[in-house]
Chain A
Amino acid sequence: MEAEERGINTARQSATDDDRNRNLAALYREHSEGLRLLLLGILRNPAAADEALQQVFLKLLESWDTVQLATVKGWLYTVAYHEALAYRRRSRIDGRALDRLWSQPAWQTNATNTNPAGRLLRIQQRDAVRRAVEELPEAQRDVVQRRMYRDQTFAQIAAEIGCSLNTVLSRMRLAAEKLNRMLEDSQ
Protein backbone atom coordinates (compact mmCIF):
# COMPACT_ATOMS: atom_id res chain seq x y z
CA MET A 1 0.00 0.00 0.00
CA GLU A 2 2.78 2.37 1.02
CA ALA A 3 4.81 1.38 -2.02
CA GLU A 4 1.80 1.98 -4.27
CA GLU A 5 1.32 5.46 -2.79
CA ARG A 6 4.99 6.18 -3.29
CA GLY A 7 4.69 5.06 -6.91
CA ILE A 8 1.72 7.38 -7.50
CA ASN A 9 3.59 10.30 -5.94
CA THR A 10 6.62 9.60 -8.10
CA ALA A 11 4.46 9.49 -11.22
CA ARG A 12 2.80 12.78 -10.22
CA GLN A 13 6.18 14.37 -9.58
CA SER A 14 7.43 13.14 -12.94
CA ALA A 15 4.42 14.64 -14.74
CA THR A 16 4.98 17.92 -12.90
CA ASP A 17 8.64 17.91 -13.93
CA ASP A 18 7.65 17.34 -17.56
CA ASP A 19 5.19 20.23 -17.46
CA ARG A 20 7.78 22.44 -15.85
CA ASN A 21 10.41 21.53 -18.45
CA ARG A 22 7.97 22.21 -21.28
CA ASN A 23 7.06 25.61 -19.82
CA LEU A 24 10.68 26.39 -19.09
CA ALA A 25 11.68 25.65 -22.69
CA ALA A 26 8.82 27.77 -24.00
CA LEU A 27 9.81 30.66 -21.73
CA TYR A 28 13.41 30.39 -22.85
CA ARG A 29 12.43 30.51 -26.51
CA GLU A 30 10.13 33.44 -25.95
CA HIS A 31 12.25 35.64 -23.73
CA SER A 32 15.92 34.68 -23.90
CA GLU A 33 16.78 36.92 -26.85
CA GLY A 34 15.17 39.99 -25.32
CA LEU A 35 16.75 39.28 -21.94
CA ARG A 36 20.13 38.84 -23.54
CA LEU A 37 19.80 42.17 -25.35
CA LEU A 38 18.90 43.86 -22.06
CA LEU A 39 21.87 42.25 -20.31
CA LEU A 40 24.13 43.20 -23.20
CA GLY A 41 22.86 46.76 -22.94
CA ILE A 42 23.74 46.94 -19.26
CA LEU A 43 26.94 44.87 -19.28
CA ARG A 44 28.31 45.61 -22.80
CA ASN A 45 29.99 42.23 -22.82
CA PRO A 46 28.51 39.16 -24.59
CA ALA A 47 30.19 36.62 -22.28
CA ALA A 48 28.99 38.46 -19.19
CA ALA A 49 25.50 38.72 -20.70
CA ASP A 50 25.43 34.97 -21.34
CA GLU A 51 26.56 34.23 -17.79
CA ALA A 52 23.94 36.53 -16.33
CA LEU A 53 21.29 34.96 -18.58
CA GLN A 54 22.10 31.56 -17.12
CA GLN A 55 21.73 32.99 -13.64
CA VAL A 56 18.32 34.40 -14.55
CA PHE A 57 17.04 31.00 -15.64
CA LEU A 58 18.64 29.31 -12.66
CA LYS A 59 16.73 31.72 -10.43
CA LEU A 60 13.58 30.98 -12.40
CA LEU A 61 14.04 27.26 -11.74
CA GLU A 62 14.68 27.88 -8.06
CA SER A 63 11.57 30.03 -7.76
CA TRP A 64 9.43 27.94 -10.09
CA ASP A 65 6.75 27.17 -7.51
CA THR A 66 6.20 30.81 -6.59
CA VAL A 67 6.45 32.52 -10.01
CA GLN A 68 3.17 33.13 -11.81
CA LEU A 69 3.23 32.40 -15.53
CA ALA A 70 0.99 35.40 -16.17
CA THR A 71 3.55 37.82 -14.77
CA VAL A 72 6.68 35.90 -15.57
CA LYS A 73 7.92 38.33 -18.25
CA GLY A 74 8.15 41.21 -15.80
CA TRP A 75 9.70 38.88 -13.25
CA LEU A 76 12.37 37.75 -15.74
CA TYR A 77 13.28 41.31 -16.75
CA THR A 78 13.47 42.48 -13.15
CA VAL A 79 15.69 39.55 -12.21
CA ALA A 80 17.85 40.14 -15.31
CA TYR A 81 18.31 43.79 -14.39
CA HIS A 82 19.37 42.93 -10.84
CA GLU A 83 21.59 40.10 -12.07
CA ALA A 84 23.37 42.52 -14.39
CA LEU A 85 23.97 45.01 -11.58
CA ALA A 86 25.15 42.19 -9.30
CA TYR A 87 27.52 41.02 -12.02
CA ARG A 88 28.96 44.52 -12.29
CA ARG A 89 29.42 44.69 -8.52
CA ARG A 90 31.14 41.31 -8.48
CA SER A 91 33.41 42.44 -11.30
CA ARG A 92 34.11 45.68 -9.41
CA ILE A 93 32.85 47.78 -12.29
CA ASP A 94 32.19 51.10 -10.62
CA GLY A 95 33.42 54.67 -10.69
CA ARG A 96 35.62 55.28 -13.69
CA ALA A 97 35.20 51.75 -15.00
CA LEU A 98 31.48 52.35 -15.12
CA ASP A 99 31.99 55.64 -16.96
CA ARG A 100 34.12 53.80 -19.50
CA LEU A 101 31.49 51.09 -19.81
CA TRP A 102 28.74 53.64 -20.45
CA SER A 103 30.81 55.34 -23.12
CA GLN A 104 31.05 52.27 -25.35
CA PRO A 105 28.23 50.98 -27.51
CA ALA A 106 26.46 47.80 -26.46
CA TRP A 107 26.85 46.31 -29.93
CA GLN A 108 30.58 46.97 -30.24
CA THR A 109 31.50 43.30 -30.36
CA ASN A 110 29.02 42.47 -33.09
CA ALA A 111 28.14 39.24 -31.31
CA THR A 112 24.66 39.80 -30.06
CA ASN A 113 23.13 36.79 -31.72
CA THR A 114 24.96 33.52 -31.19
CA ASN A 115 21.94 31.43 -31.96
CA PRO A 116 22.76 29.36 -35.09
CA ALA A 117 19.10 28.97 -35.95
CA GLY A 118 18.80 32.75 -36.08
CA ARG A 119 21.66 33.24 -38.53
CA LEU A 120 19.64 32.79 -41.70
CA LEU A 121 17.07 35.18 -40.33
CA ARG A 122 19.88 37.58 -39.51
CA ILE A 123 21.14 37.53 -43.10
CA GLN A 124 17.67 38.40 -44.35
CA GLN A 125 17.37 41.03 -41.65
CA ARG A 126 20.74 42.50 -42.54
CA ASP A 127 19.71 42.95 -46.16
CA ALA A 128 16.45 44.54 -45.04
CA VAL A 129 18.33 46.92 -42.72
CA ARG A 130 20.69 47.91 -45.52
CA ARG A 131 17.77 48.64 -47.80
CA ALA A 132 16.10 50.66 -45.06
CA VAL A 133 19.26 52.69 -44.47
CA GLU A 134 19.54 53.36 -48.20
CA GLU A 135 15.97 54.63 -48.22
CA LEU A 136 16.62 57.22 -45.50
CA PRO A 137 16.92 60.87 -46.53
CA GLU A 138 20.51 61.64 -47.42
CA ALA A 139 21.26 63.75 -44.33
CA GLN A 140 19.94 61.09 -41.96
CA ARG A 141 21.65 58.30 -43.88
CA ASP A 142 24.96 60.14 -43.63
CA VAL A 143 24.68 60.41 -39.84
CA VAL A 144 23.65 56.77 -39.49
CA GLN A 145 26.53 55.56 -41.63
CA ARG A 146 29.07 57.70 -39.83
CA ARG A 147 27.81 56.68 -36.39
CA MET A 148 27.15 53.02 -37.01
CA TYR A 149 29.59 52.10 -39.75
CA ARG A 150 32.53 54.39 -38.99
CA ASP A 151 32.07 54.51 -35.20
CA GLN A 152 32.24 58.31 -35.10
CA THR A 153 30.68 59.96 -32.07
CA PHE A 154 27.85 62.43 -32.59
CA ALA A 155 30.23 65.25 -31.59
CA GLN A 156 32.78 64.14 -34.19
CA ILE A 157 30.08 63.93 -36.85
CA ALA A 158 28.85 67.42 -36.00
CA ALA A 159 32.37 68.81 -36.24
CA GLU A 160 33.08 67.03 -39.50
CA ILE A 161 29.93 67.94 -41.39
CA GLY A 162 29.82 71.43 -39.90
CA CYS A 163 26.45 71.52 -38.17
CA SER A 164 25.29 71.64 -34.58
CA LEU A 165 25.32 68.62 -32.31
CA ASN A 166 21.60 69.14 -31.89
CA THR A 167 21.04 68.73 -35.61
CA VAL A 168 23.10 65.56 -35.74
CA LEU A 169 21.22 64.11 -32.77
CA SER A 170 17.95 65.02 -34.36
CA ARG A 171 18.83 63.33 -37.64
CA MET A 172 19.96 60.20 -35.87
CA ARG A 173 16.84 60.21 -33.81
CA LEU A 174 14.54 60.47 -36.82
CA ALA A 175 16.50 57.75 -38.57
CA ALA A 176 16.38 55.49 -35.51
CA GLU A 177 12.61 55.91 -35.29
CA LYS A 178 12.16 54.97 -38.95
CA LEU A 179 14.51 52.02 -38.67
CA ASN A 180 12.80 50.85 -35.49
CA ARG A 181 9.44 50.91 -37.25
CA MET A 182 10.94 48.98 -40.12
CA LEU A 183 12.34 46.37 -37.73
CA GLU A 184 9.00 46.00 -35.99
CA ASP A 185 7.21 45.61 -39.32
CA SER A 186 9.66 42.99 -40.50
CA GLN A 187 9.19 40.86 -37.38
Chain B
Amino acid sequence: MNDDTANDEAVNPEPAGADDLAWRAFRYAAGEMTADEARALEDQMATDPAACEAVVRAVQLGSELAAARPDAEVPATVTPRSLHDARYEPSHTPVAWLSIAAAVCVAFVGGIYWARRGNVAQEPIAQVPPNTATGPTTIDADAWLKLRSLEPAGSDVELAWDGCASEELPDLDVGRGPAVPTWLVDMAGATKQKGNP
Protein backbone atom coordinates (compact mmCIF):
# COMPACT_ATOMS: atom_id res chain seq x y z
CA MET B 1 0.00 0.00 0.00
CA ASN B 2 2.84 2.35 0.82
CA ASP B 3 4.41 1.57 -2.51
CA ASP B 4 1.16 2.42 -4.20
CA THR B 5 0.94 5.71 -2.35
CA ALA B 6 4.46 6.64 -3.31
CA ASN B 7 3.64 5.72 -6.87
CA ASP B 8 0.47 7.82 -6.77
CA GLU B 9 2.25 10.91 -5.50
CA ALA B 10 4.92 10.56 -8.16
CA VAL B 11 2.40 10.30 -10.98
CA ASN B 12 0.04 12.94 -9.73
CA PRO B 13 1.57 16.26 -10.86
CA GLU B 14 -0.30 17.90 -13.74
CA PRO B 15 -0.53 15.36 -16.51
CA ALA B 16 -1.24 16.53 -20.04
CA GLY B 17 -2.83 15.49 -23.30
CA ALA B 18 -5.41 12.77 -23.79
CA ASP B 19 -4.95 11.39 -20.27
CA ASP B 20 -5.75 14.77 -18.83
CA LEU B 21 -8.87 14.99 -20.97
CA ALA B 22 -9.96 11.51 -19.86
CA TRP B 23 -9.45 12.43 -16.23
CA ARG B 24 -11.30 15.74 -16.56
CA ALA B 25 -14.13 13.90 -18.30
CA PHE B 26 -14.27 11.39 -15.47
CA ARG B 27 -14.43 14.13 -12.85
CA TYR B 28 -17.09 15.90 -14.91
CA ALA B 29 -19.20 12.75 -15.14
CA ALA B 30 -18.60 11.95 -11.47
CA GLY B 31 -19.89 15.37 -10.42
CA GLU B 32 -16.50 16.24 -8.95
CA MET B 33 -15.78 19.45 -10.85
CA THR B 34 -16.29 23.07 -10.00
CA ALA B 35 -18.87 24.92 -12.07
CA ASP B 36 -16.13 26.77 -13.92
CA GLU B 37 -14.30 23.56 -14.80
CA ALA B 38 -17.52 21.90 -15.92
CA ARG B 39 -18.44 24.89 -18.05
CA ALA B 40 -14.97 24.91 -19.62
CA LEU B 41 -15.22 21.22 -20.49
CA GLU B 42 -18.69 21.67 -21.99
CA ASP B 43 -17.38 24.57 -24.07
CA GLN B 44 -14.58 22.33 -25.27
CA MET B 45 -17.11 19.62 -26.18
CA ALA B 46 -18.79 22.04 -28.58
CA THR B 47 -15.76 22.05 -30.86
CA ASP B 48 -13.64 19.05 -29.85
CA PRO B 49 -15.01 15.57 -30.67
CA ALA B 50 -12.29 14.05 -28.49
CA ALA B 51 -13.84 15.79 -25.47
CA CYS B 52 -17.23 14.29 -26.34
CA GLU B 53 -15.70 10.84 -26.67
CA ALA B 54 -13.88 11.25 -23.37
CA VAL B 55 -17.18 12.04 -21.66
CA VAL B 56 -18.80 9.03 -23.32
CA ARG B 57 -16.03 6.76 -22.01
CA ALA B 58 -16.19 8.32 -18.55
CA VAL B 59 -19.95 7.85 -18.28
CA GLN B 60 -19.56 4.30 -19.56
CA LEU B 61 -16.87 3.49 -17.01
CA GLY B 62 -18.89 5.03 -14.18
CA SER B 63 -21.99 3.16 -15.29
CA GLU B 64 -20.11 -0.13 -15.43
CA LEU B 65 -18.68 0.45 -11.99
CA ALA B 66 -22.06 1.51 -10.59
CA ALA B 67 -23.65 -1.59 -12.09
CA ALA B 68 -20.94 -3.73 -10.48
CA ARG B 69 -21.59 -2.49 -6.97
CA PRO B 70 -22.28 -5.42 -4.68
CA ASP B 71 -25.76 -4.20 -3.73
CA ALA B 72 -26.79 -3.73 -7.38
CA GLU B 73 -28.15 -7.25 -7.76
CA VAL B 74 -30.88 -9.25 -6.07
CA PRO B 75 -29.45 -11.86 -3.68
CA ALA B 76 -29.57 -15.34 -5.17
CA THR B 77 -30.74 -17.02 -1.99
CA VAL B 78 -33.18 -15.99 0.71
CA THR B 79 -31.54 -16.06 4.10
CA PRO B 80 -33.79 -17.10 7.00
CA ARG B 81 -34.74 -14.25 9.27
CA SER B 82 -35.61 -14.35 12.91
CA LEU B 83 -39.26 -14.77 13.84
CA HIS B 84 -39.35 -11.24 15.13
CA ASP B 85 -38.06 -9.83 11.84
CA ALA B 86 -40.32 -12.04 9.78
CA ARG B 87 -43.52 -11.12 11.62
CA TYR B 88 -45.73 -9.10 9.32
CA GLU B 89 -47.64 -6.32 10.95
CA PRO B 90 -49.44 -4.29 8.27
CA SER B 91 -51.11 -2.04 10.84
CA HIS B 92 -47.68 -0.65 11.66
CA THR B 93 -46.92 0.29 8.05
CA PRO B 94 -49.26 2.77 6.32
CA VAL B 95 -47.40 2.05 3.10
CA ALA B 96 -48.58 -1.55 3.31
CA TRP B 97 -52.21 -0.40 3.50
CA LEU B 98 -51.68 1.90 0.54
CA SER B 99 -50.13 -0.98 -1.39
CA ILE B 100 -53.11 -3.21 -0.63
CA ALA B 101 -55.54 -0.47 -1.72
CA ALA B 102 -53.58 0.04 -4.94
CA ALA B 103 -53.58 -3.71 -5.62
CA VAL B 104 -57.38 -3.86 -5.13
CA CYS B 105 -57.84 -0.93 -7.56
CA VAL B 106 -55.63 -2.57 -10.15
CA ALA B 107 -57.48 -5.87 -9.77
CA PHE B 108 -60.83 -4.08 -10.15
CA VAL B 109 -59.79 -2.19 -13.29
CA GLY B 110 -58.15 -5.32 -14.68
CA GLY B 111 -61.34 -7.31 -14.01
CA ILE B 112 -63.45 -4.81 -15.95
CA TYR B 113 -60.96 -4.84 -18.81
CA TRP B 114 -60.87 -8.62 -19.08
CA ALA B 115 -64.63 -8.86 -18.74
CA ARG B 116 -65.02 -6.51 -21.73
CA ARG B 117 -62.41 -8.38 -23.70
CA GLY B 118 -64.25 -11.61 -22.99
CA ASN B 119 -67.46 -10.12 -24.41
CA VAL B 120 -65.67 -9.03 -27.56
CA ALA B 121 -64.13 -12.45 -28.01
CA GLN B 122 -67.56 -14.08 -27.81
CA GLU B 123 -68.99 -11.98 -30.66
CA PRO B 124 -69.63 -14.07 -33.76
CA ILE B 125 -67.30 -13.38 -36.65
CA ALA B 126 -70.26 -12.63 -38.88
CA GLN B 127 -70.83 -9.40 -36.95
CA VAL B 128 -67.62 -7.94 -38.26
CA PRO B 129 -68.61 -5.23 -40.76
CA PRO B 130 -67.88 -6.12 -44.35
CA ASN B 131 -64.75 -4.65 -45.89
CA THR B 132 -65.18 -2.13 -48.64
CA ALA B 133 -61.56 -1.21 -49.27
CA THR B 134 -59.29 -3.13 -51.60
CA GLY B 135 -56.33 -3.69 -49.22
CA PRO B 136 -56.22 -5.02 -45.67
CA THR B 137 -57.69 -2.47 -43.25
CA THR B 138 -57.94 -2.35 -39.49
CA ILE B 139 -61.25 -4.18 -39.64
CA ASP B 140 -59.70 -6.81 -41.88
CA ALA B 141 -56.88 -7.21 -39.44
CA ASP B 142 -59.30 -7.73 -36.55
CA ALA B 143 -61.24 -10.31 -38.49
CA TRP B 144 -58.02 -11.99 -39.55
CA LEU B 145 -56.83 -12.17 -35.97
CA LYS B 146 -60.15 -13.67 -34.92
CA LEU B 147 -59.89 -16.26 -37.68
CA ARG B 148 -56.36 -17.02 -36.63
CA SER B 149 -57.40 -17.44 -33.01
CA LEU B 150 -59.96 -20.07 -34.08
CA GLU B 151 -57.44 -22.07 -36.05
CA PRO B 152 -55.94 -25.11 -34.34
CA ALA B 153 -52.33 -24.72 -33.34
CA GLY B 154 -49.94 -25.73 -36.09
CA SER B 155 -52.56 -25.29 -38.78
CA ASP B 156 -51.03 -24.95 -42.21
CA VAL B 157 -53.94 -22.97 -43.65
CA GLU B 158 -52.50 -20.11 -45.67
CA LEU B 159 -54.43 -16.84 -45.47
CA ALA B 160 -54.30 -14.39 -48.32
CA TRP B 161 -52.79 -11.54 -46.28
CA ASP B 162 -49.95 -13.52 -44.73
CA GLY B 163 -47.40 -11.84 -46.93
CA CYS B 164 -48.62 -8.28 -46.41
CA ALA B 165 -47.04 -7.54 -43.05
CA SER B 166 -43.48 -8.07 -44.17
CA GLU B 167 -44.03 -5.91 -47.24
CA GLU B 168 -45.33 -3.01 -45.22
CA LEU B 169 -42.58 -3.05 -42.61
CA PRO B 170 -39.49 -1.02 -43.34
CA ASP B 171 -36.63 -3.13 -44.53
CA LEU B 172 -34.30 -2.76 -41.55
CA ASP B 173 -31.56 -5.33 -41.33
CA VAL B 174 -31.01 -6.96 -37.96
CA GLY B 175 -27.41 -7.07 -36.88
CA ARG B 176 -25.15 -6.09 -33.99
CA GLY B 177 -26.03 -3.28 -31.64
CA PRO B 178 -29.21 -2.19 -29.93
CA ALA B 179 -32.54 -2.98 -31.53
CA VAL B 180 -34.01 -0.20 -33.61
CA PRO B 181 -36.79 1.31 -31.47
CA THR B 182 -40.36 1.68 -32.69
CA TRP B 183 -40.20 5.48 -32.47
CA LEU B 184 -37.43 5.50 -35.06
CA VAL B 185 -39.40 3.21 -37.36
CA ASP B 186 -42.44 5.47 -36.89
CA MET B 187 -40.41 8.58 -37.65
CA ALA B 188 -38.97 6.99 -40.78
CA GLY B 189 -42.46 5.91 -41.83
CA ALA B 190 -43.86 9.40 -41.31
CA THR B 191 -41.09 10.94 -43.36
CA LYS B 192 -41.63 8.30 -46.06
CA GLN B 193 -45.31 9.22 -46.28
CA LYS B 194 -44.39 12.87 -46.64
CA GLY B 195 -42.01 11.96 -49.45
CA ASN B 196 -44.65 9.86 -51.25
CA PRO B 197 -47.93 11.75 -51.11
Contacts and interface: CB of A to CB of B under 8 A. Distances in A.
Interface residues of A, number: 83
Interface string B44-56: 0110010011011
B160 interface: no
Contacts of A179: 61, 64-65
A38 B23 CA distance: 16
Given A105-B62, A173-B23, A29 B176 contact: yes
A170 B13 CA distance: 9
Interface string A40-73: 1110100000000010011001101000000000
Contacts of B196: 10, 13-14, 17
A81 B12 CA distance: 31
A132 to B, nearest CB: 9
A170 B52 contact: no
Interface residues of B, number: 64
Contacts of A169: 12
Given A29-B176, A176-B22, A20 B188 contact: yes
Given A29-B176, A129-B64, A38 B49 contact: no
B180 A107 contact: no
B173 interface: yes
Nearest to B34: A102
A41 B29 contact: yes
Nearest to B30: A105
A81 B52 contact: yes
Given A28-B178, A41-B25, A139-B8, 18 more contacts: A18-B171, A20-B188, A33-B178, A37-B59, A42-B42, A57-B184, A77-B52, A77-B53, A102-B28, A105-B30, A106-B31, A110-B67, A112-B60, A125-B64, A138-B4, A140-B8, A148-B69, A176-B58
Interface of B: 1, 4-5, 7-9, 11-12, 19, 22-23, 25-26, 28-33, 35, 38, 42, 45-46, 49, 52-53, 55-72, 170-173, 175-181, 183-184, 187-188, 191-192, 195-196
Interface of A: 10, 13-14, 17-18, 20-22, 24-26, 28-30, 32-34, 37-38, 40-42, 44, 54, 57-58, 61-62, 64, 74, 77-78, 80-82, 85, 98-99, 102-108, 110, 112-113, 115-118, 122, 125-127, 129-130, 133, 137-140, 144, 147-149, 153-154, 163, 166-167, 169-174, 176-177, 179-180, 183
6 contacts: A17-B192, A38-B59, A41-B25, A57-B187, A110-B66, A116-B179
